Amino acid sequence: MASIAYAPIAGVGTSVFLADDQVSAALPIGFTFNFYCANYTNFYISSNGFINFSGGMGSGCCGGQLLPNATMPNNLIAGGWDDLYPPGAGSINYFNTGVAPNRRLIVNFTGIPFCCGTTVGVSFQIILFETTNQIEIHGANYNGISPGTIGVENLTGTLATTPAGRNSGTWTSTNESWRFF
């Protein structure tokens, strides 16, 4: 993992409408993505600020848990996991860009408030890279996240990587970015 320059990918794609503490149906990645030595072609979006690769993991209510943690949800990428509230404001969408073998999946959480208000709490982007299987998280705004988590965790919740101070912590920041290898 490394801190990188803030450089999100512009664009808007397919909107995903989620209620409080809800997880989307399976969505297509658009390519095969290898995460902790397993290949995936679908992903799920939680209203609480993460994506995962396994159905039935739950929404992660009601705050970003300390990683690693065998308690579900697992098999995830947390871009700003907290008790978020998409019905209050903002949008969630995803899209693909690039051509094989260098495609990218982009998932945007834009202007999402903390539960159960309407004041913007977080805006961030998760990017999955085909072939390299790298992950980038670009945080435009984390406005008093608590407890919040940025990081990745394997299927069993026994392995994880998180930036210092971003593992079930409290912080405020803008234009923060991380790459996971």
Residues 159-178 pLDDT 10s: 999 999 999 999 999 999 99
- Full-model pTM: 0.98
- Ranges of each domain in the chain: 2-180
**Which tokens in the block code for residue 122?**
């977080």
**Which tokens in the block code for residue 169?**
């912590």
Residues 16-38 pLDDT 10s: 999 999 999 999 999 999 999 99
**pLDDT band (50, 70, 90) for residue 12:** confident
pLDDT of residue 96: 98
Whether 55 shows a pLDDT value over 90: the answer reads yes
Nearest to 181 by CA among 166, 161, 164: 161
- The residue whose two tokens read 């971003």 is 166
Which of helix, strand or coil describes residue 122? strand
Task: Tell me how far CA of residue 128 lies from CA of 3, 70, 77, in angstroms.
Answer: 16, 24, 10
Whether 131 shows a pLDDT value over 90: the answer reads yes
Which of helix, strand or coil describes residue 88? helix
**pLDDT band (50, 70, 90) for residue 181:** very high
**Which tokens in the block code for residue 1?**
């993992």
